[in-house]
Amino acid sequence: MFTIVVHPEHGHPSSIWPSQELVISHSEEPYVLPSQIGVDKALGDELLAWTDQFQKFFVEEPDDFSSRPQWRPGINPFEWYDEGYRIIHELRLRFPDVHVKSEFAQYVFSVNERRENMGLPPISPPDEFRAGHISISDVLDDPKSPR
């Protein structure tokens, strides 16, 4: 199955990581731009602008399970997230036979918010009991556990 993963990363101008078979125009750059997989200019520009917002405003992911990632003032991370899903929807319409996968929730929601959204119990640090939580040690020891 062919995939396009939408995953922002510092220094990557378009956030798209397509299967190599989808790239119709290659370059020397270590990344793929929307036009290189046949995305029209309008949607490509929207994707590049969305990625540029990430580059300018995203600060860092927290190193605990309950805190949300940090963004600089001047952007609403939830609106950025919604715009990302609108772009995902457009990509899915343009590539109906391709699995278009989003990988950007970790830049807006905490680990525990994402886990609870998937119907999984929240995580607590090792040796810290919290009602309704499971220890990170249990998650790491279980090879079937989503991470």
Describe the strand order of the beta sheet including 3-6 as a list of residue ranges. 16-18, 3-6, 99-102
Tokens 């750059």 appear where? Answer: 29
Q: What is the pTM of this model?
A: 0.84
- Would you call 47 exposed, middle or buried from its count of C-beta atoms within 10 A (0-12, 13-18, 19+)? buried
Q: What is residue 124's predicted lDDT score, i.e. its pLDDT?
A: 82
Residues of the chain with pLDDT under 50: none
Q: What is residue 131's predicted lDDT score, i.e. its pLDDT?
A: 72
Q: What is residue 16's predicted lDDT score, i.e. its pLDDT?
A: 97
Q: What is residue 63's predicted lDDT score, i.e. its pLDDT?
A: 85
Q: CB of 112 within 8 A of CB of 121?
A: no
Q: What is residue 41's predicted lDDT score, i.e. its pLDDT?
A: 97
Three-state SS across 4-58?
EEECCCCCCCCCEEECHHHCCCCCCCCCCCHHHHCCCHHHHHHHHHHHHHHHHHE
Q: Return the C-alpha torsion angle 102, 106, 110, 111, nearest 10.
A: 80
Q: CB of 142 within 8 A of CB of 134?
A: no
Q: How far is CA 145 from the centre of its chain?
A: 19
